[in-house]
Structure 1
């Protein structure tokens, strides 16, 4: 079976909403366009105002600290972002507008735990995605690996638990991990597979409800002896990718 690109996902605001898209235009050494373009800093962040460069994830609202954030879905059209949550409802924002950025902070407050530093302000560093690593990797996961983990855990684990960018169908389980150090082609773009992705407690949360319902970390450990699922990839050659594209190991 030919391996193919099954899903392309982006997260316009770090940890706050996921959107599936049909295609994307990738650039060398850059993240998926509009992925983690913005982030929401909290009051205990190690900077004030707008930083000039990438900042570590502990400065921002994240699903590991606020599980209800995991249930947000997004739709993004340049700076216009619509967010939907089963309890908070729907909000549409112009992220280039200061007043709308403040509206976002207000909308998030009921979804954020009272015992955590409160949401403070929206951060954007032009040209720099607020991914978990300073290097703008693209995350790549395998549906067959997830199917094995779901079977082991005794429940279907939704792809949105994992905040991935690209999902592959047609590889045998853990093939992506075996490709670390190798190159692949998707569409007209090429990638180097760089390192595994070690998972955190945010993946225990059901993205449809915002409630923790599966010890995914224990399941990973007992199934494979580590807490990794998926790999980070670096874009070596920019190009177009689309759902259904064949994936070639170079």
Structure 2
């Protein structure tokens, strides 16, 4: 089977919503545009200048209800949706809109955890990697894990950017150190993505309903799923583009 790009996703606020795209323009050395452009710092955060590690932010590993947020970014306005909350449209960069966002997201965070306090951004996406990355995942790997666990796992549990169809299960790990082309862009595969408890939550409900970490450990002896890549040559990519492998 010819390998092709099946899905493109971005997450404008880290851990607070997902958005499906038909195409996107990638730039060399940068994250997918507006992916993790903002992050929600909690009240115990110790932020660095620029990029900061994920422990400083509200996220699905600690607040699984966040996993059910979907989003739409239009210009400087972001709309968030959740099955247990009314829709919210606001401007993440406008301090005047922060109280409305905090009031909206507060009930989705466990009361015994550090609470959301501010929306922050850096000169690059607030990915979990300490370098600007694009997360690439395989639908074949997802199907294999789903079959082993006996449940249909959504792509949105994994908060990836690019989903490939047509590879053998977990063949993406064999591409580390190599480059692939999708549409006009070229990406170098850098490292595996080690997963956290966020993937255990159902992205439709925000309720924990599948031990993905135990499933990966039992089947493969690790908790890795997907790979991080860096964009080496920018260009437009679109759903159904052919993926040229090494």
TM-score normalised by structure 1 residue count: 0.96
Residue aligning to 1:71: 68
Q: How many residues align?
A: 246
| Structure 1 CA distance for aligned equivalents of residues 190 and 152 of structure 2 | 28
Aligned to 2:107: 110
Aligned to 1:3: 3
- Are 1:142 and 1:171, in contact at CA under 8 Å, matched by a contact in 2? yes
Match of 1:202? Answer: 198
4+ long deviations beyond 3 Å: none
Match of 2:22 in 1: 22
Specify which of 97, 100, 112 is matched with residue 100 of structure 1.
Answer: 97
SS of the counterpart of 1:14?
coil
Contact 1:63 1:202 in 2 (8 A): yes
Q: Name 2:174's counterpart in structure 1.
A: 178
Contact 1:42 1:60 survives alignment (8 Å): yes
Partner of 1:163: 159
How far, CA to CA, are the matches of 1:52 and 1:152 in structure 2?
43
Task: Say whether the 8 Å CA contact 2:50–2:121 is kept in structure 1.
Answer: no
State the distance in 1 between where 2:125 and 2:98 align.
Answer: 18
Alignment RMSD (CA, Å): 0.9
Deviations 1:162-210 (A, max 9, x none): 0100000011111111111111000000010110111111111000111
CA drift of 1:134 comes to 2.3
Once residues 234 and 78 of structure 1 are traced to their aligned partners in structure 2, the CA distance between those partners, rounded to angstroms, is 26
How many angstroms does 1:77 deviate by?
Answer: 1.5
- The residue number in structure 2 matching 1:56 is 53
Match in the other structure for 2:232: 236
Residues 177 and 231, structure 1, Cα contact 8 Å, conserved in 2: yes
Gaps of 5+ in 1: none
Asked if the contact 1:102/1:121 (under 8 Å) is kept, the reply is no
Find the aligned partners of 1:195 and 1:164 in 2 and give their Cα distance.
14
> In the TM superposition, what is the alpha-carbon distance from 1:3 to its structure 2 partner?
0.4
